[in-house]
Amino acid sequence: MQYHLNGFKPGNYEVPDEVREPYPNPPIVDLPGEVDVLIIGTGPAGLTLARQLSEFPDIKTCIVDMAPGPLLFGRADGISCRTIEIMEAFNSSEMVVKETYQLKQNTFWEPDEANPENIKRTHKVADARAGLSEFTHGIVNQARLHELLLDGMERSVTHLRPHYSRELAEMKIDDSLTQNLDAYPITATFTRTDEAGAGKTEVVKARYVVGCDGARSKVRKSMDIPLQGDSANKAWGVMDILLNTDFPDIRIKSFIQSKHHGAVMTIPREGGYLCRFYVELDLLGKDKRAADVKLNEQDIIAKAQKIFHPYTLDVKEVAWWSIYEVGQRIAERFDNRPVDSPDDVIPRGFVAGDACHTHSPKGGWGLNTSLPDTFNLGWKLAAVIQGKSHPKLLSTYGPERRKVAQQLIDADRELSRLVATRPTAGDDSAQAKVDTAKIEAFMKRQSGFVSGTSIEYFPSYLCTGQEHQHLAKGLHIGQRFHSAEATRVADGRVQHLGHLIKADGRWRIFLFGDTQNPADPSSAAYQLIDFLAKDPSSPVLKYTPKGADIDSVIDTYAVFQQQDLSIQDLQDYLWPAKGKYGLRDYEKVFQTAEGNDIYDLRGIDRSAGCMVVVRPDQHIANILPLDAHQALAQFFDVFMIEQH
């Protein structure tokens, strides 16, 4: 798809440039007085959480932002493989894949030894993230990703919409009420920022609050959570531009180092014409912020033109620009509980995204870390509010996501030093030389983290069973379920198994059969299904509410090696009767795909088989032998609440 030929226009890329209009500001609607979950901020973290919670009609959610309407110009641009996997959980990956610019190559440029005032390409390489997912790392306007999340919210069963033009004036948490799940301990006071509502205040009482309100988060400050880290004394300019140039790699991600004028990183944008530039500027004085730099977009362009010599940059339009300082900070904790609180102390306030980790934008990690923050938190909030899980589940959010944030901070600090030609805070060298070979090595080494595919949570009661990892060597406990294809038995359709894990709060059990026919009552697969369907200790029976569909809490899929299966020969549990008419579900049984065998691709033990337990956020929670019935029951017993 191509767009922005005659100038940048925000909005829905499905609409032609000539008639595309910016997203309008919605009408003002009064805030509700009481809600289950109050989300403050409509960035990627806030909208991802709202999108998840919008699927639950019994959860009252409110999302608020001080902006007058939806985002128009993207701040973040990179969309990692893992982020697209999450968008698939929201049934929105198709448009992301269709509209993004897919990153396939990287080039590296350094001063020409024969003429150091000029730059010269040293090498071109394939992007290191290729093959880590069925999706490709891409670039798209952040506002477009927001629109897909907003559309999903509005079309959900709750028709959830954000409340704009509200600034958080004050937020208090009544500590005497936080351990009472039925209480509303949060009181948030907002002031209207629109002209018609100037001076008006509104008060919302909430059971839980999630601050997704950016680096200067008022929610974080109200919970007295300090940021740890520092800001380097380095400023960078960033701009999205439409330009004419004779630079040959303008449509390839490029790292460019000049002899005397600093460095530039270029990233092609979606639509075929737009491009993003990150331009190294001068050092900041002590105690100075990027906001203090008296430069504009013309200064950033002029600096880039010097760096690109002998190539020319004729900038026709600047769609968006900003100046920022390099810095890495992380919140001391990600919820309102004191440090080192035991798990049974229930958190009621949380921070996510830039509210708890800040860094430079060059690695494209901001959106791609913020969005998974609340993808982790959302299902846990829903499970606790709905009475399906013990409230201690909420205490796992902070440790799991803070580990990831710390990895992000460490990686960003290293990358910031690698791409800078002048020293940043903590760098003792008077003149730092960019070594593009080191940048390339860094990107290869960090490819799994950058793509989001190697993010791994600590061993815990939510990520256990490491002693059985050998049964599925390519499905790593704690990491996301690495999708592969299988063929559906009922109709022969080839299906990505990972795409079955939707953002609906359900757990998944993937049963990978052994070499014995699963229709044989003596087989391990048959006996496991019998346990799940009939045994009183089965987690499916214990934790599914009476009268609900059998897969409404724990959804089971089976993959078998045998190629001559008929679904009618298998137990009813694998093709259950559901809904008010008792219609059969024929989409739960698979066999290995010819020429693309998941057993080979993911190292699954053919002789023994196994079961893989997957959390609602697509991360693998447990791997067990097929006959480990009681171990499976005990896993869920730790945090689930029996339903009556």
Q: Which of 104-118, 407-421, 444-458, 504-518 has the lowest mean pLDDT?
A: 407-421
pLDDT at 361: 64
Interhelix angle 397-418/366-385, rounded to 10 degrees, is 180
Q: Is the pLDDT of residue 248 over 60?
A: yes
Q: Is the pLDDT of residue 293 over 80?
A: no
Q: Is the pLDDT of residue 533 over 60?
A: yes
What does the alpha-carbon distance between residue 52 and residue 374 come to, in Å, rounded to a whole number? 9
What does the alpha-carbon distance between residue 329 and residue 450 come to, in Å, rounded to a whole number? 18
Outline where DSSP puts E strands in 10-139. Answer: 34-40, 61-64, 78-79, 101-102, 105-111, 119-126, 138-139
- Token pair for 80: 């990692």
| Fold entry, domain 466-637 | Glutaredoxin (3.40.30)
Bond before 185 cis per omega within 30 degrees: no
CB 413 within 8 A of CB 406: no
Highest mean pLDDT pick, 78-92, 255-269, 356-370, 605-619: 605-619
Cα atoms found within 13 Å of the Cα of residue 558, Cβ hemisphere only: 29
Q: Which CATH architecture has domain 232-327+405-447?
A: 2-Layer Sandwich (3.30)
CATH superfamily of 42-102+137-227+331-393: FAD/NAD(P)-binding domain (3.50.50.60)
CB 162 within 8 A of CB 64: yes
pLDDT at 73: 80
- Where is 470: in which H helix or E strand? none
Instruction: Please report, for residues 8, 245, 376, 463, 636, the alpha-carbon distance to residue 508 in angstroms, rounded to integers and kept in the order given.
Output: 43, 51, 16, 14, 12
Tens-place pLDDT, residues 10-67: 888 889 999 998 888 899 999 999 999 999 999 999 999 999 999 999 999 999 999 9
Going 401 to 403 to 406 to 412, the CA torsion angle's sign is negative
pLDDT at 75: 75
What residues form DSSP beta bridges with 330? 228, 357
Pick 600 or 448 by higher pLDDT.
600
Q: Is the pLDDT of residue 291 over 70?
A: no
Q: Is the pLDDT of residue 129 over 80?
A: no
Give SS3 for 471: helix
Helix ranges (DSSP H) in 274-396: 297-307, 366-385
Phi, psi of 7 (to 5 degrees): 125, 150
Pairing of strands 201-211, 186-192: antiparallel
Q: What confidence category does residue 294 fall into, taking pLDDT thresholds of 50, 70 and 90?
A: confident
Pick 433 or 228 by higher pLDDT.
228
CB 273 within 8 A of CB 2: yes
- Report the candidate in 287, 289, 276, 345 with the shortest Cα–Cα distance to residue 315: 276
Q: Is the pLDDT of residue 572 over 70?
A: yes
Going 144 to 149 to 152 to 158, the CA torsion angle's sign is negative
Q: What confidence category does residue 439 fall into, taking pLDDT thresholds of 50, 70 and 90?
A: confident
Q: What percent of the chain has pLDDT over 90?
A: 76
pLDDT at 283: 59
pLDDT at 426: 46
Do 232-327+405-447 and 42-102+137-227+331-393 have the same topology in CATH?
no
- Report the candidate in 396, 390, 379, 393 with the shortest Cα–Cα distance to residue 457: 396
What does the alpha-carbon distance between residue 14 and residue 42 come to, in Å, rounded to a whole number? 23
Q: Is the pLDDT of residue 288 over 90?
A: no
Q: Domain residues of the chain, as ranges?
A: 42-102+137-227+331-393, 232-327+405-447, 466-637
